Structure 1
Amino acid sequence: MATGAVMYNFAVQLADVDRGVYEEVTLRAARHPSETDAYMMTRVLAYCLEYVAGIAFSEGISSTATEPAVLVRDLTGRLTTWIEVGAPDADRLHYGSKLADRTTVYTHRDPEKVIAAWAGKRIHQLEQITVQSFDPGFVDAAVAALERRNVMTVTRTDGQLYLDINGTSVSSAIHVHELG
């Protein structure tokens, strides 16, 4: 019998000074058995750092391969932002960047290796896609504090991310890698 997804709850105080976004957000994130904790934590951070009206987690790995980990739709239902997590392949980025106005990737992996895997591949509007990463060890430190029910404070200011999760504080620069 297959193991089901594990639900994680996050009560988030979000202060994104760089974008002028200040919100209290309650998230329920399902971690599929094939996901690592680092992938799920990166997915939650991507949601917080991209937070706007219309943002949502996709239905997940088990339901469809035609949606990113996180997406943003406008009031008409049109996909405006395609947000991948981890190390998506070139075909996914190509597909997503054709559907959405903006495509970005948040990775917990070595960004140089993630980007190198796309070399020579056809990706629509590659020059407009960004890859965002964190300092080495940042996501692992956040995962070490992860519980099924989490209280988080996420603060971004001057390109720096300050995270408090369940009383553990960690920080990182947000590294933005331009592909064009």
Structure 2
Amino acid sequence: MAAGATILTFDVELADVDHGVYESLSLRVAQHPSETDAFMVTRVLAYLLEYEEGIVFSEGISATNEPAVLVRDLTGAVTAWTEVGSPDAERLHYGSKLAGRVVVYTHRDPVKVAAQWSGKKIHNADAIVLHNFDAGFVDAAAAAVSRRNALTLSVTERRVYLELNGTSLSSDIHDTRIA
């Protein structure tokens, strides 16, 4: 955990109909002082939308050789590599060679994020998907965050319904192939 990090707790009810995941979770999220609220919210959403056995948050912004969220199997091998924000092509290339599945969740303009990878060497680029949300969704969610959070996330037909500390929001999940 990073020195000076703010610890946030999320009591989560997750109902992801698209993936058949129904869980009650208690998450402790360390927010690094240089991490924006929008990045942190996107990181939490990525964790929940990619939820499966073996999923963990990495050391976050301070981790140079790991993504924001990753999944390890019982042997410790990385099976899924989930980046947040706008990672560089080298990170995606490395993650794609290491893990069977790589995805990116961004709170930024997906066209600009994907443009930075154009013409760069990225292993298995055609299998990497960039996910983003409707304009304003992540910022509205970030405005509702406090130190202790009650969060309900439902997903059906690639649409998320989020209730966070009494604020109700919804968004489609938009997918862009990077190659």
TM-score (norm 2): 0.97
* Partner of residue 31, structure 2: 31
Structure 2 segments unaligned to the other structure (5+ residues): none
* Partner of residue 5, structure 1: 5
Q: CA RMSD in A?
A: 1.1
TM-score (norm 1): 0.97
Structure 1 segments unaligned to the other structure (5+ residues): none
1:21 is the counterpart of 2:13: no
Shift of 1:3: 6.7
Shift of 1:112: 0.5
User: Taking structure 1 as reference, are residues 54 and 120 closer, same or farther at Cα in structure 2, changes over 3 Å only?
Assistant: same
What is the number of equivalent residue pairs in this alignment? Answer: 178
Structure 1 Cα separation of the partners of residues 39 and 61 of structure 2: 12
Q: Residue type of the partner of 2:37?
A: D
* Partner of residue 66, structure 1: 65
1:172 is the counterpart of 2:171: yes
Q: Residue type of the partner of 1:160?
A: R
Q: Which runs of 4+ in 1 moved over 6 A?
A: none
Shift of 1:179: 2.1
1:58-91: CA deviation from partner (whole Å, max 9, x where unpaired): 02233x3000000000111110000000000001
What is the DSSP-based 3-state SS (H/G/I as helix, E as strand, rest coil) of the residue aligned with 2:174?
Answer: strand
* Partner of residue 132, structure 2: 133
Percent identity, please: 63
Counting only pairs closer than 5 Å after superposition, residues 1-180 of structure 1 correspond to structure 2 as: 4-62=4-62, 64-180=63-179
1:14-48: CA deviation from partner (whole Å, max 9, x where unpaired): 00000110000110110101110000000000000
